Chains A and B, each alone.
Chain A
Amino acid sequence: MNKLELNEDKVLEVRFVGDDDVLNHILDREGGAKFKKERPQLLVNTKKIIKKPEYDLKEDGIEVLKDKNYVEVLGRDVQESLKNGSATVGGNKVYSFQNRKHPEKMAKLASELAKTPRKNVSYSLKNDPEIMTDIPQCSKGHSPSDEVQLKNNDKSEFISTTRVLRKRLIAPRNHSDSESEYSASNSEDDEEVAQEFEEDTNKAILSPKTQAQNRVVSAPVYKATPSKKMKRDKTSDLVEEYFEAHSSSKVLTSDRTLQKLKKAKLDQQTLRNLLSKVSPSFSAELKQLNQQYEQLFHKWMLQLHLGFNIVLYGLGSKRDLLERFRATMLQDSIHIVINGFFPGISVKSILNSITEEVLDHMGTFRNILDQLDWIINKFKEDSSLELFLLIHNLDSQMLRGDKSQQIIAQLSSLRNIYLIASIDHLNAPLMWDHVKQSLYNWLWYETTTYSPYTEETSYENSLLVKQSGSLPLSSLTHVSRSLTPNARGIFRLLIKYQLDNQDNPSYLGLSFQDFYQQCREAFLVNSDLTLRAQLTEFRDHKLIRTKKGTDGVEYLFIPIDNGTLSEFLEKEEEES
């Protein structure tokens, strides 16, 4: 009845409309709504959210058919097109639920992968009793196909007589076994008893094979879902598994750390040197890929000029590709290259470079919105102005905020600003809602290059790269050299205090009064005014920061990690 009502009086009536009606409005009002029963492979495998109104149900039959057609269409398309993702992977592969993993799984897969070239060796399933004993361990959480494959691989492992391989496969394992201790993330638990037991057994046993069996016995925690493995494809089980995987706060991983491995963290420079020795593989194929993309340059220019903007996605750094685009197509036009991965980038700096360097405007603006308005007006007034924006990593940490995206989108919607950008992050498209997307007016291009993200990751505080050591240290020494001896002393005092308190979790900083007291005692200052003057200088150099405590007292601290600070102190002492 709602339907009728809506159809009859469309305008000029005050009435309440309930949620159902809104739903009807969102859906097809006359009941022609079609929502997919099954998503095509190419679409995100989300569950249908909107409930179907009742009167739609009678049409389901036809719609299923139509949806199938659609799926078919897409399926065919993918086969036609070379460059659009692949149809071979179903959505469930991409976004299936997580299930509990065996901690050893990775090593296992590694050893498997290590010998994949010989994967074609086939054996009958039941010729080796040892495999059978191995199954309970390896089949956990595996899809049937994987299981079979695992078995095959295990077989080939056992039967293989190549000594070299065997040695290599076993050697790391032995090594790892001797010191492996599995524990939850909060390792103070009672788990430790079990670990010790396990360790003992490990030491006693030499063969990795039997040891693996033992582990199954000694660590029943791993066998979380032995009965469920057969029905993995059922949704309810998936859901259960998901919650099971996420219910416990403990995650079992080994306790080994990089320190034990004696592999020091490399710094950026040595990393680069080492990597330069690696000869890139598949260069011919990569070149071919790149050539394919380069053929699109003219088309991109055309489409940019016709009011579209272009976004590139796909694995691999797209920086070189965009650079080549810039070099071939944009030499005669004004353009701005924006490194989104640069940690100091902000929308403000982008706008500034447009106003100051492109439009030669010297004034300042009250806020970003004003600046944006000014730019927009300028570009609307002068239609001969043309500007190309090349943004590497539009989805970077600094630019992915809603406000930044809004502003860039507004810029890009101007007729004479052309935007070509690249995105890398897995969830990058989530940045944009419908409004932004329509402002951007994207055309998507897949450019999978497989080239390493050298430049993009060089700024990143990567896990294994030595933490940002050299840059702050050198700047610290640089600044401290320019200071007066007294100021240096003041700073050293603060460092020492901070280092003394580094194990104190509730350490806030040094309160100003205490600091003043200490400085006075060390004959570094004679009044709190001089101290304040010094502190201002430090603050200007971003050497210290202040925080207000709960009691309203100012606390001072140095926003640099302790390792760097102690290194700095050592150096200072050497010099003096």
Chain B
Amino acid sequence: MATSSVSKGCFVFKPNFKKRKISVPIEEYFNEGKNESEDSKLRFETYQVIWQQMKSETEKMQEELNKNLFDSLIKFLQKSHSGFQKNSRDWGCQIKLREIPTAALILGVNVTDHEFTFRSLTEAIQNNVTPYVVKLQARDCPDIKHFLQKLFSQLMDCHVDVESKEEEKDIQKKTHCSMDSLSSWYMNVTQTDQGKPRKKRTSSQWQSPPVVLILKDMESFTTKVLQDFIIISSQHLHEFPLILIFGIATSPVIIHRLLPHAVSSLLCIEIFQSLSCKEHLTTVIDKLLLTTQFPFNLSEKVLQILTSIFLYYDFSIQNFIKGLQLSLLEHFYSQPLSVLCCNLPEAKRRINFLSDNQCENIRRLPSFRRYVEKQATEKQVALLTNERFLKEETQSLLESLHVYHTNYFLVLRCLHQFTSSLPKYPLGRQIRELYCTCLEKNIWDSEEYASALQLLRMLAKDELMTILQKCFSVLNSSSEKQLGSTAKRIEELLAQLQSLDAEVKEEEDASGSQSKGLQKTDLYHLQKSLLEMKELRRTGKKQTKFEVLREKVVNFIDSLVREYLLPPETQPLYEAVYFTAAHTLHEHLNAAPRLALHTALNNPYYYLKNEVLKSEEGCIPNVAPDICIAYKLHLECSRLINLVDWSEAFATVVTAAEKTDANSVTSEERNDIIHARFIRAVSELELLGFVKPTKRKTDHVARLTWGGC
């Protein structure tokens, strides 16, 4: 069946056999793409396992991060609702009763992440406060009628059980949605609820649970709709206990911009601030990347690209995680040895089952080759020829890789403790920046590191001690005892620092008595003794004990860094667990369609590797595809282009290109063909959005882009 027609644009294809199974399992696509694929099934399974783990980890993390916010929100909801319960007669409450309790939830500009927050918020409210939670979006509510309808139908859905759903739906269709009908419905529901025992919900303690209405994107609602709704519902507040939650992406000021004072005075607004997306990112990186829990790691470039997309484009955690997922997928898809990218015991087991091909793959790894070259000759031979020996060696290498990672992250965190409080943050404020630098090269070769050490040598004692304490706790937090001696060493240093305290006190006492003695002398003597002291300080330059100790601490940290923070490229077999193809990621996540178009039109040689098309910068040969020639010519024009001129210029170029076969066809026909080609090129440029027809002058087109050459 053809997919082009002059009468319709949608073509549905249904395979004949209706009850077919889902034809191909996904794994098939994973391995079919490549002819020689090693352990592809296993790889795909590992991918799925790791991805599921990562996903659940992020979700858990997000919930934890939101917990604080939700707790305070729920407290607010409960508190504001208690006003309805008391029904007290006093004047303040009466006033309050006219105000709709409103929570303004400042969520930040990363709109894409809001959905998840709202989903878990709804859940939390439903579990803790009230079953009646309604989420509305601006695009569903162009006017107040739709607004109420949506509200009504969602409320129904909250309440009704499955069996009565159908008839309720009918009712809903018939009834005219108004605030009156809403409140009467509410009365109905709450009264019948009192009759029959509800499920075990905290809300059931209350005789009238509030209705919580969440406006997900407050900024995009029409002002009119919002105003009307607020005014109407404030009139009905005594019979329809409503609580509003505004989701705000920009700033709370927007409430007052959208709503005039008369309306906003009907709201009793409280502001809640969600965690900033940047802290969120830090946690994500911390939990997913700076840990040995997941064997998968990103190379420096990949991490750079992902964080840049985050910081410069959207601030979206979701997109960051999408990028992570893509890199995970790409890694397992393209790297046959990624089969070893799993937890250590499993990887060791898998090594035993590696095929000969895979062993060859291991031998081909650049990092492994470097490793082999460093070995003694007979071991080299054994590694390159004996499969069994290779496998054993690989096992031990993997183990050392694992140890390397454990130590790496611990030391990285320690170093971060040191550098994160330095003035001007020479090594970055966030641990991800430090991580990037460490991944890229030997960090101790960089200037920033040197200046950081210099700054560290000027730390005050209490700062130094808090940092050391933090380091100590970081090192102790890990279950593995790889760096046990280091922790002990830090403990010693700490103890020494503390003991310094006592000594310093003694010294102070001594100097105190000395100064007492000075007081008794006259001015001349005082001057003299001061001069002496100054002299003493200048010549002696003797470091105090603290300075010596500080030097020791800094040197110690430096040695730690040099020992453990080697870039991953130095580790044999690192290719198995590091995803390095940054360009694919960039290509697929952050593509530049305009640039691709521009390149294709300007420099066809880039795509069509034909020597004829090779040309200098800025000009194209006349044999290039028609559209390129037409494009190049149109760049020479300003806002309007005369079609006749254009077509003539085009014809000049094209005839020059095909002068060889000029004799074969008559000139008349040739001209027609060239004209047709020109027409095609122009309409293609129109489709691409470079030109458009204009009525300003006959037979002209308008250019839609700027510049060119």
Contact = CB atoms under 8 A, between A and B. Distances in A.
Contacts of A142: 709
6 contacts: A11-B68, A88-B603, A101-B636, A295-B33, A445-B588, A462-B686
Given A89-B602, A114-B653, A298-B29, A339 B4 contact: yes
B118 interface: no
A233 interface: no
A10 B273 contact: yes
B143 to A, nearest CB: 13
Contact of B109 (A26, A66, A84, A110): A26
A428 interface: yes
A110 B591 contact: no
Contact of A251 (B7, B312, B638): B638
Contact of A116 (B596, B603, B610, B621): B621
B225 interface: no
B301 interface: yes
A30 B606 CA distance: 44
Interface stretch (B158-166, B377-385, B466-474, B697-705): B697-705
A504 to B, nearest CB: 18
A29 B677 contact: no
A319 to B, nearest CB: 8
B602 to A, nearest CB: 7
A456 interface: yes
Given A94-B598, A107-B648, A282-B610, A338 B140 contact: no
Contact of B645 (A34, A69, A106, A164): A106
B108 A114 contact: no
Given A11-B68, A261-B644, A332-B23, A337 B650 contact: no
Interface string B1-12: 001111111111
Contacts of A172: 648, 651-652
B637 A444 contact: no
Given A73-B582, A289-B608, A271 B680 contact: yes
Given A96-B708, A113-B632, A77 B301 contact: yes
Interface in A268-313: 270-271, 274-275, 277-278, 281-282, 285-286, 288-289, 295-299, 301-303, 305-306, 308, 313
B689 interface: yes
B15 A333 contact: yes
A460 B686 contact: yes
B322 interface: yes
B593 A429 contact: yes
A449 B338 CA distance: 33
B588 A444 contact: yes
B195 interface: no
Given A16-B252, A274-B673, 18 more contacts: A11-B272, A17-B251, A93-B707, A96-B706, A96-B708, A102-B636, A106-B646, A275-B680, A305-B29, A306-B325, A313-B597, A349-B9, A443-B589, A444-B590, A446-B596, A450-B627, A453-B687, A462-B683
A285 B610 contact: yes
Contacts of A459: 6
B583 interface: yes
Interface residues of A, number: 179
Given A453-B687, A463-B682, A11 B676 contact: no
Contacts of B599: 85-86, 88-89
B39 interface: no
A80 B428 CA distance: 29
A459 B582 CA distance: 41
Contacts of A332: 15, 20, 23-24
A328 to B, nearest CB: 11
Nearest to B622: A113
Given A323-B3, A334-B15, A353-B12, A119 B619 contact: yes
Given A111-B652, A257-B698, A302-B29, A89 B603 contact: yes
B625 interface: yes
B228 to A, nearest CB: 21
A77 to B, nearest CB: 4
B82 to A, nearest CB: 17
B425 interface: yes
Contact of A448 (B29, B333, B600, B651): B600
B600 A314 contact: yes
Contacts of A83: 587
Nearest to B325: A306
A428 B11 CA distance: 24
A96 B644 contact: no
Max chain A Cβ within 10 angstroms of own Cβ: one of B5, B587, B621, B659 = B587
Contact of B428 (A32, A43, A464): A32
Contact of A73 (B22, B305, B607, B677): B305
B308 interface: yes
Interface string B415-438: 000000000111011100100000
A63 B164 CA distance: 62
Interface stretch (A188-196, A434-442, A506-514, A546-554): A434-442
Interface stretch (A127-135, A340-348, A494-502, A517-525): A340-348
Contact of B689 (A113, A425, A446): A425
Max chain A Cβ within 10 angstroms of own Cβ: one of B109, B272, B643 = B643
Contacts of B93: none
Given A299-B29, A425-B689, A98 B706 contact: yes
Contacts of A435: 111-112
A143 B582 CA distance: 35
A342 B689 contact: no
Nearest to A464: B679
B644 A254 contact: yes
Interface in B58-104: 68-69, 72
A281 B623 contact: yes
A334 B14 contact: yes
B32 interface: yes
Contacts of A145: 617-618
Given A257-B699, A323-B3, A450-B600, A73 B301 contact: yes
Contacts of B322: 441
Given A17-B253, A116-B621, A253 B697 contact: yes
Given A85-B596, A169-B652, A315-B597, A74 B586 contact: yes
A444 B278 contact: no
Nearest to B697: A185
Kindly list the 7 A-B residue pairs having the minimum CB-CB distance in the complex, ordered from nearest.
Answer: A342-B9, A444-B591, A114-B656, A110-B649, A298-B33, A77-B583, A315-B600
A78 to B, nearest CB: 7
A450 B676 contact: no
Interface string B669-690: 0001101111110111011111
B484 interface: no
Given A302-B33, A345-B10, A106 B636 contact: yes
Interface string A8-32: 0011111111110110011011111
B432 to A, nearest CB: 10
Contacts of B627: 315, 450
Nearest to A108: B636
A314 B593 contact: yes
Max chain A Cβ within 10 angstroms of own Cβ: one of B311, B603, B707 = B707
B658 to A, nearest CB: 9
Contacts of A98: 638-639, 706-707
